[in-house]
Amino acid sequence: MTPAVWLLVLLGALTSFGGAVGGIGGATLLVPVLLLTGMDIIDAAPLGLLSVAATSLAAAGRQLDAGLVHHRIGLTVELAASSFAIAGALLSTSVPAPWLARALGLGALTGAVVTLSRRGNRNPSNQTFRDDSPGEWPGTLGGTYHFGDASVPYHAQHVPLGLAVAAVAGAISGMAGVGGGFLKTPAMSEVMHVPVKVAAATSTFTMGITAAAGLLVFAGQGRIDATSGAAVVLGAMGGATIGSRVQTGLPATRARTVTGVLLILVAAVVIGRSL
């Protein structure tokens, strides 16, 4: 059952707003809501990925200007995630829908626990870097970002473990039609010790690539409905544009709380429905 067009526009807007603020992408919220309307996850997945792609594009310009996206970290993580996203999308038609939903719920719950279990800021500001442009240091997985008057240097750690989590995120993303940001953002911020705001913005960038890979597979399988897809994209562009503005000015600790709470809601809905 497909909801009315106006409802898809509204759902796309609300979920992408929340997804952009929390750096987890709109689809992590949209797909569970579509399941609640009675839609099957096989039909909801392409709409989810369209919402992810729209969210990523809507936030891109602002996050690029703010120097929040670390493209080297993003593409390194994405190489692992997209490989497994393709495998997941190809397998999605042969895995039972309840198992897909449970995998999505478990992933969201893991992301929530990891995100909410930490207190305080891991990366303190440093006046040495005050006059540096925010952004990445060439040839490395390090950089600085500005928040207010402070400059915060950072460098990615535990990269192999972060890539392993990204691969799991990619597989779930390809199967369930979500961007995987609910695992990629905690993987970058909690495993690789990248500041949460950089992790959220970088994750939003990489989700666009994951979505592109998955959408091509769904297009090849003839699973994209024109009107429903356009409705979700239309709402998602509006919601994510406003959400990315809110996210850029949000303190890191509050951004983590928003991410964690949203993930708990997602896990509760998805796991509850699959039981």
Partner 1 sequence: MNGGPGDDPLSGAPHDPRGGRFDPLARILRWARWVVVVVALGAVGLGVAGLDNPAGVLAIAMVVVLVGVPMMRVGWFARRWTVRGDPRFAMVAGAVLLLPPTGLLISVLTG
- Backbone conformation region of residue 180, classed left if phi is above 0, alpha if psi is from -120 to 50, else beta: left
Please report how close the Cβ of residue 227 comes to partner 1 at its closest, in angstroms: 3
* CA angle in degrees (0–180, nearest 5) for 129-135-137: 80
Contact call for residues 167 and 35 (beta carbons, < 8 A): no
Q: How far is it, in rounded angstroms, from Cα 130 to Cα 146? A: 8
Judged by CB under 8 A, which stretch of 35-43, 58-66, 191-199, 264-272 contacts partner 1?
58-66
Output the six-digit token pair for 204.
């939003």
Output the six-digit token pair for 149.
């008057």
Beta-strand pair 135-136/142-147: antiparallel
Please report how close the Cβ of residue 7 comes to partner 1 at its closest, in angstroms: 12
Q: What is the DSSP string of 120-141?
A: S-SS---GGGTTSPSEEPTTSS
By CB under 8 A, is residue 201 in contact with partner 1?
A: no
By CB under 8 A, is residue 95 in contact with partner 1?
A: no
By CB under 8 A, is residue 42 in contact with partner 1?
A: no
Contact call for residues 102 and 271 (beta carbons, < 8 A): yes
Judged by CB under 8 A, which stretch of 29-37, 63-71, 111-119, 178-186 contacts partner 1?
63-71
- Binding-site string for partner 1 from residue 147 to residue 186, where x marks contact by CB under 8 A and - marks none: ----------------------------------------
* Residues in contact with partner 1 by the rule CB under 8 A: 5, 9, 50, 53-54, 56-58, 60-61, 64-65, 71-72, 75-76, 78-79, 82-83, 85-86, 89-90, 131, 133, 135, 138-139, 205, 208-209, 211-217, 219-221, 224, 226-227, 229-231, 233-234, 237, 241
